[in-house]
Chain A
Amino acid sequence: MQGNAACAEGALAAGCRFFGGYPITPSTEIAETMARRLPKMGGVFISMEDELASIAAVIGAAWTGARAMTATSGPGFSLMMENIGYAAMTETPCVIVNVQRGGPSTGQPTRAAQGDMLQCRFGSHGDYSIIALTPNSVQEMFDLTVKAFDLADRFRVPTFLMADEIVGHMRERVTIPDAVDVTSRRPLAEGCLPFEAGNDGVPGFAPFGLGRSVHVTGLTHDERGYPDTTDPGAHDRLVRRLVAKVESARRDIADYEVTNPDAETVFVTYGPPSRTVEQVMRDRPDDSIGHLRLRVVWPFPEFALQEFGNAKVFLMPELNMGQMVREVQRHVDQPVIPLEKIGGELHTPAELVRALEAHR
């Protein structure tokens, strides 16, 4: 199965019943699969007029209680930024798939990149936090899409599947389980205000049509959902909670693989560059190379780096100009070496071996 199709199947398995999108290479097969499959499952597929409208429709659908998703690539992702901030501010659970391609601007529509990793974290204005997952295989296009819906509903936060052209268009064998586990949004308890958070910082959810008269606004609001735009305390309380509900759950959200934790030279990867690292490690006779592979990049699991107690150097192959290097470097004393590659092709094993020899 193709990666983009696996993503769509993962979404359907997770209970996604609304897709709003706009065609864009290299993500289009997700929309095409949803267009074919959703109507037969009682869901709604709608091709919106642009990506601003796509994410808006997804947020609207999410407020009726539906699990809702959109899929795009760089240029469309840029257009979505405004309403991604709205989803963060209004605590709307939704899943946004970005099948990354070369940028900036129209860039390389048919080539892979990981150039939107900071945009997905910081692209909308103001302070907020989100969750971002990074698949490295067609199986993970399925699995992590399911997980994205689970996390979006648990934390009421826009959740990103940061895929790329490689995993989107690659074909691999996939195991699709009979059923998947996805947590439902916690319902708004009787007597609770619509934006009154529990101990985990997450408010209960009352979908439209329940008679709870929920007012949703992108303005700074109080626990009732009413605008309160001038009180510094109200803004501080709200925005700090929006950030804390995600950041304080980093260990719970984290998903990563550690290989050879005693190694002195450690690769840190997410997405397809991990496949090249795995090849390099398979080709070596010993355990001298460590590998930390992140399946969740945001919130960043800095504690994962501590698992490599003997590390002398971290090497980071990324399909960008070192976007995640600074995030890793700020948590460790050892040097973090960017192995940046842009242009649309994955690092070759030989390139990584050369880098190993240069830095150990």
Chain B
Amino acid sequence: MIAPDWFREDRLPHIYCTGCGNGTVLNCTLAAVEEMGWERSETAFISGIGCSSRAPGYILADSLHTTHGRALAFATGVKMAKPDLNVVVFTGDGDLAAIGGNHFIHACRRNVDMTVVCMNNQIYGMTGGQGSPTTPLGAISTTTPYGASEPAFDLAELAVAAGANYVARWTSYHVKELTRAVTTGMQTPGLAFIEVRTQCPTNYGRHNKLRSVPAMIEHLRSHAMLVEKRDRLAREGRPIPEGTFTVGELVRRNRPAMGVKQ
């Protein structure tokens, strides 16, 4: 187990399904916290509602499990009132991109100094697999039984456009890269947004011919394309393969930030 000191062992067993990617993301984030050398007394974990947002409940630190979509607004209050705290937010695609979309873009605009880790499983997992704003076109869910008909949000690109100082995207397959990205995000003053494409075999894979966990992870791996490669293909005028998404560091910059520890 990574970072055993940070786990609330008396909260086990956890609610995550067998094969869920959220535990991997939680582990990578806590590995980054250890890497940073943060103390329990100076770190707070904040989340909204959904599977991803249960993560702070398993961490031995001050933690605020808030209302659906509002985690970033709560986190803004925490960080602005007490900039000495290191603030980490766990959220998901439903929480962040649907009901919390407005808070997301404004948190990026304000560039409040916090690290936001989004477990994007492309589905509302906790309520049983309904289509979310990141469900890919054509994907089957309980509310898109004939295939999703709405184009999906690109969360990382949204964060870049809205002004976050650090934006990266990886998958639950890329644990080393993900841990490094979260660490870099924590080191960067301002808002760091790390989108993690992660598997939900129970409520996404089952309906989309990705029933087994290895198949889902292989699907994530094989469809992830490094930003640099995508840029090279574009430069050379070659086609970007269908269904791929970029991974890597999308932006690292120094826009004015708020709530930075003095």
Report which A residues bind B (CB closer than 8 A): 17-18, 20, 44, 46, 48-50, 52-54, 56-66, 68, 82-83, 86, 208-219, 224, 226-227
In the bound assembly, the distance between CA atoms of A204 and B48 in angstroms comes to 25
Asked if A53 meets B70 with Cβ closer than 8 Å, knowing A44-B80, A61-B81, the reply is: yes
Residue B103 CB within 8 A of the other chain: yes
In the bound assembly, the distance between CA atoms of A227 and B56 in angstroms comes to 12
A68 contacts which chain B residues (CB < 8 A)? Answer: 77, 81
Do A49 and B40 touch (CB < 8 A)? Answer: no
| Most chain B CB atoms below 10 A, which of A52, A53, A82, A211 | A53
Asked if A50 meets B63 with Cβ closer than 8 Å, knowing A66-B81, A208-B78, A209-B84, the reply is: no
Q: How far is the CB of A185 from chain B (nearest CB, A)?
A: 15
Do A57 and B73 touch (CB < 8 A)? Answer: yes
Do B57 and A60 touch (CB < 8 A)? Answer: no
Do B63 and A216 touch (CB < 8 A)? Answer: yes
| Closest partner residue, chain A, to B42 (CB atom) | A209
Do B76 and A57 touch (CB < 8 A)? Answer: yes
Asked if A60 meets B46 with Cβ closer than 8 Å, knowing A83-B67, A208-B78, A209-B84, the reply is: yes
A215 contacts which chain B residues (CB < 8 A)? Answer: 8, 56-57, 62-63, 65
In the bound assembly, the distance between CA atoms of A49 and B74 in angstroms comes to 12
Q: List 17 A-B contacts (CB under 8 A).
A: A17-B81, A18-B81, A48-B73, A49-B103, A53-B76, A56-B74, A59-B66, A63-B78, A208-B44, A208-B62, A209-B41, A209-B82, A213-B63, A215-B8, A215-B65, A224-B10, A227-B57
| Closest partner residue, chain B, to A211 (CB atom) | B41
Q: How far is the CB of A88 from chain B (nearest CB, A)?
A: 12
Which of A18, A212, A227 makes the CB contact (< 8 A) with B77?
A: A18
Which of B41, B75, B102 makes the CB contact (< 8 A) with A60?
A: B75
Q: How far is the CB of A17 from chain B (nearest CB, A)?
A: 8
Q: How far is the CB of B83 from chain A (nearest CB, A)?
A: 9
Which of A60, A211, A213, A217 makes the CB contact (< 8 A) with B78?
A: A60
Asked if A216 meets B80 with Cβ closer than 8 Å, knowing A53-B70, A56-B73, A59-B74, the reply is: no
Give the secondary structure class of A's interface: mixed
In the bound assembly, the distance between CA atoms of A210 and B62 in angstroms comes to 9
| Most chain B CB atoms below 10 A, which of A52, A59, A213 | A213
Asked if A209 meets B85 with Cβ closer than 8 Å, knowing A63-B64, A215-B63, the reply is: yes
B252 contacts which chain A residues (CB < 8 A)? Answer: none
Give the secondary structure class of B's interface: helix
Which of B46, B80, B103 makes the CB contact (< 8 A) with A46?
A: B80
Do A44 and B81 touch (CB < 8 A)? Answer: yes
Do A219 and B65 touch (CB < 8 A)? Answer: yes
A60 contacts which chain B residues (CB < 8 A)? Answer: 46, 64, 73-79, 81
Q: Known pairs A44-B80, A57-B73, A217-B57. 6 more at Cβ < 8 A?
A: A53-B70, A53-B106, A56-B76, A60-B73, A213-B63, A215-B62
Residue B11 CB within 8 A of the other chain: yes
In the bound assembly, the distance between CA atoms of A209 and B77 in angstroms comes to 14
Number of B residues near A (Cβ < 8 Å) is: 35
B66 contacts which chain A residues (CB < 8 A)? Answer: 56, 59, 83, 86, 218
| Closest partner residue, chain A, to B47 (CB atom) | A217
Residue B98 CB within 8 A of the other chain: no
B63 contacts which chain A residues (CB < 8 A)? Answer: 213-216
Which of B61, B81, B84 makes the CB contact (< 8 A) with A213?
A: B61
B73 contacts which chain A residues (CB < 8 A)? Answer: 48-49, 52-54, 56-57, 60
B82 contacts which chain A residues (CB < 8 A)? Answer: 61, 64-66, 208-209
Q: How far is the CB of B57 from chain A (nearest CB, A)?
A: 6
A218 contacts which chain B residues (CB < 8 A)? Answer: 65-67
Residue B251 CB within 8 A of the other chain: no
B74 contacts which chain A residues (CB < 8 A)? Answer: 56-57, 59-60
Residue B60 CB within 8 A of the other chain: yes
| Closest partner residue, chain A, to B82 (CB atom) | A64
Q: How far is the CB of A210 from chain B (nearest CB, A)?
A: 7
Which of A58, A65, A210, A216 makes the CB contact (< 8 A) with B64?
A: A216
Q: How far is the CB of A81 from chain B (nearest CB, A)?
A: 11
In the bound assembly, the distance between CA atoms of A59 and B78 in angstroms comes to 8
Asked if A52 meets B70 with Cβ closer than 8 Å, knowing A66-B81, A215-B65, A216-B64, the reply is: yes
Which of B64, B78, B81, B103 makes the CB contact (< 8 A) with A53?
A: B103
